[in-house]
Structure 1
Amino acid sequence: MTEVLPVHEVPARLGSFLAFDYGLKRTGVAVGNRLTRSATPQPLIRAEGDARWAQVAARIAEWQPDALVVGVPFHPDGAEHENTRRARRFARQLHGRFGLPVYEVDERYSSTEAHAAGARAAEVDGVAAAVILEQFLRSLA
């Protein structure tokens, strides 16, 4: 199995998802499902480095998702940058540590959408994770 899978290859049996808006200091989290095609922000993961993994493991244990989704940032023109590489590394590590399918979603403008939805500064990362997950869910057949 490849580590990170293309969105168009999501088997119908996968119904529940946990999404991450990766950041060096804060990681937004959202949970959602295929049936409702909606996502709900969860409390942020406020940890760096290896300390983050215990909190990620706790969320996975709590929600028991069928698969994971990671927002991957790009420049407006589609070019990659350092945070693109960091988010992709995080996605690979998720797969390696937890063995769940991981899907990447282009997350350009997710924070802008979160702000436009009225999210306060403290809520932006979680709302952005929900935006990412809902974009992913809408793309499913």
Structure 2
Amino acid sequence: MTIETIFAFDFGVKRIGVAMGNTMIRQAEPVKVISAIDNATRFADIQALLDEWKPARLVVGLPMHPDGAEHEMTARARKFANQLHGRFSLPVELVDERYSSAVISAKRGEVIDDRAAAIILQQYFDTH
């Protein structure tokens, strides 16, 4: 069995949460929150993480309405996933993130995007 590092992203317009784990331990851990002003900075930060950790695949949370209907952020997350694949030539999988935010109870103003990414990655591990 080959052990792979996997990165997950909780995409947001202002912030992107990042988590990582591997296929042996199958435990997701928050890594960082990228607060990017523009796409160039955002993808440079992602490139630095990928260079450091060398993941074999990427996972992106796919936001949807509770009934499964898509909305504006669904399309944005899909576009982000396509950009990751195009820029970094790594396989990218989408994971339904409808209930990931509900699992996290946070104080007002607390940045939780990296923990949301960890929940998304844990959902990936639990279903694959």
Name the TM-score, length of structure 2 as normaliser: 0.92
Identity among equivalent pairs (%): 51
Tell me which residue corresponds to 1:103: 93
Q: Which residue of 2 aligns with 1:28?
A: 17
**Within the alignment, does 1:87 sit opposite 2:48 as a pair?**
no
User: How many residues are treated as equivalent by the alignment?
Assistant: 127
SS in 2 for 1:18: strand
The 2-side partners of 1:123 and 1:137 are apart by 24
Q: Does 1:39 align with 2:28?
A: yes
The answer for the alignment partner of 1:8 in structure 2 is none
- Pick aligned residue for 2:66 from 76, 86, 90: 76
- Structure 1 unaligned segments of length 5 or more: list them: 1-11
Does the residue aligned with 2:38 lie in a helix, a strand or coil? Answer: coil
The runs of 5 or more residues in structure 2 that have no matched partner are none
Task: Give the aligned CA root-mean-square deviation in angstroms.
Answer: 1.7
For residues 56-104 of structure 1, what are the alpha-carbon distances to aligned partners after superposition, in whole Å with 9 as ceiling and x for unaligned? 1111111110000000100000000000000000000000000000000
TM-score of the aligned structures, taking structure 1 as reference length = 0.84
